[in-house]
Amino acid sequence: MRIYPGHRMTESNTTQTPSVTTQNASEAKVAAAWLHTARFLTTAPQLQHLPDLTVPEIAFVGRSNAGKSTCINTLTQQKRLAFASKTPGRTQSINLFALGKHGETDAVLADLPGYGYAAVPKEAKLRWQRVMANYLRTRPNLRGVVMMCDPRLGITELDDILLDVIRPRVQEGLKLLVLLTKSDKLTRTEGQKILSITRLQAGGGEVKLFSALKKQGIDDVAHMLWNWARPPAAPVDMGESISSTPEHHEESDDDKADRSL
């Protein structure tokens, strides 16, 4: 029997298993508290200005006006983060925000400039498309990408270009979540329709409806990002300790450590 750490069958949680809802609610709380620790780390106008980091990085991308700033503010329960990205000089830059309790950074959010804004000169657009593509292709610690799309537009051509860029990395384990923002503007039927269409287009990624206004999808997304940032749990084989007789059970150092938790 394989059980993963965090889901261990200890005596206390088999006799007093919390209901699924209670457990989900407390997990959502932990994820929300973690996201709330977000603080401005640095701004990088070009890739070479990005600090070398080893902690997991989660990038937010999307067309201008897709609701990216609102989404980041909502997830982190802060108004100042999006404000930081609007500061002159930081708008055409990758803005990094550190996450982690007690001032320790255990993950980073990267806010990439919105693309597709009509008023931006073509040269600048192309430059940014290149920077973004290079970032998504090469950033070593990139763990996941959240792409925000206006559900009334769905995945546009520019979104598709970026999806093509990251596809090989998604196949190698990079996490991808496409968020259909502003879902409060859709009827239930429209929402389900665009969800199915986008799922077909997002190849390998998760797709969710999200509304900052109606608070739809926030807990789910927060929990998902929290899981992305945790290192994958190594499976623990509990078969022996449950079924073996004491004379056959040799206690490993891991078992001893487990007991002391």
Indicate the residue among 64 and 201 with the shorter CB distance to ligand GDP.
64
Of the candidates 84, 77, 91, 98, the residue with the CA atom closest to the CA atom of residue 222 = 77
95: contact with Mg ion by CB under 5 A:
no
Q: One symbol per residue from 73 to 92: x for binding Mg ion (CB under 5 A), - otherwise; what is it?
A: --------------------
SS (H, E, C) 21-73: HHHHHHHHHHHHHHHHCCEEEEEECCHHHCCCCCCCEEEEEEECCCCHHHHHH
Indicate the residue among 147 and 174 with the shorter CB distance to ligand GDP.
147
Residue number of the CB atom closest to Mg ion = 69
93: contact with Mg ion by CB under 5 A:
no
In the structure encoding, which two tokens stand for residue 119, read together? 């008023």
Total residue length of the chain:
261
CB of 142 to Mg ion, least distance (A): 20
In the structure encoding, which two tokens stand for residue 204, read together? 């390998």
- What's the rounded Cα separation, in Å, for the pair 164 and 137? 10
- What's the rounded Cα separation, in Å, for the pair 110 and 146? 10
Query: Which partner, ligand GDP, Mg ion, none, binds residue 185 by CB below 5 to 8 Å per kind?
Result: ligand GDP
Indicate the residue among 37 and 69 with the shorter CB distance to ligand GDP.
69
Of the candidates 55, 53, 119, the residue with the CA atom closest to the CA atom of residue 92 = 119
Residues that bind ligand GDP (CB under 6 A): 62, 64-70, 114, 181-182, 184-185, 211-213
183: contact with Mg ion by CB under 5 A:
no
Single-letter amino acid code for the residue at 149: C
CB of 117 to ligand GDP, least distance (A): 8
- Report which DSSP code applies to 260: T
Max CA-CA distance within the chain? 76
Query: Which partner, ligand GDP, Mg ion, none, binds residue 175 by CB below 5 to 8 Å per kind?
Result: none
Q: Give Cβ neighbours of residue 40 (< 8 Å, ≥ 6 apart).
A: 80, 81, 84, 95, 96, 97, 98
Indicate the residue among 148 and 174 with the shorter CB distance to Mg ion.
148
Indicate the residue among 166 and 209 with the shorter CB distance to ligand GDP.
209
181: contact with Mg ion by CB under 5 A:
no
Query: Which partner, Mg ion, ligand GDP, none, binds residue 62 by CB below 5 to 8 Å per kind?
Result: ligand GDP
**In this structure, which long-range contacts are made by residues 228-233, counting pairs with CB atoms below 8 Å and at least 24 apart in sequence?**
228/56, 228/58, 228/143, 228/144, 228/175, 229/55, 229/56, 229/58, 229/99, 229/106, 229/107, 229/143, 233/4, 233/5, 233/6
Indicate the residue among 69 and 74 with the shorter CB distance to Mg ion.
69
69: contact with Mg ion by CB under 5 A:
yes
CB of 213 to ligand GDP, least distance (A): 4
CB of 156 to ligand GDP, least distance (A): 13
Query: Which partner, Mg ion, ligand GDP, none, binds residue 124 by CB below 5 to 8 Å per kind?
Result: none
Indicate the residue among 35 and 174 with the shorter CB distance to Mg ion.
35
Binding site for Mg ion (CB under 5 A): 69
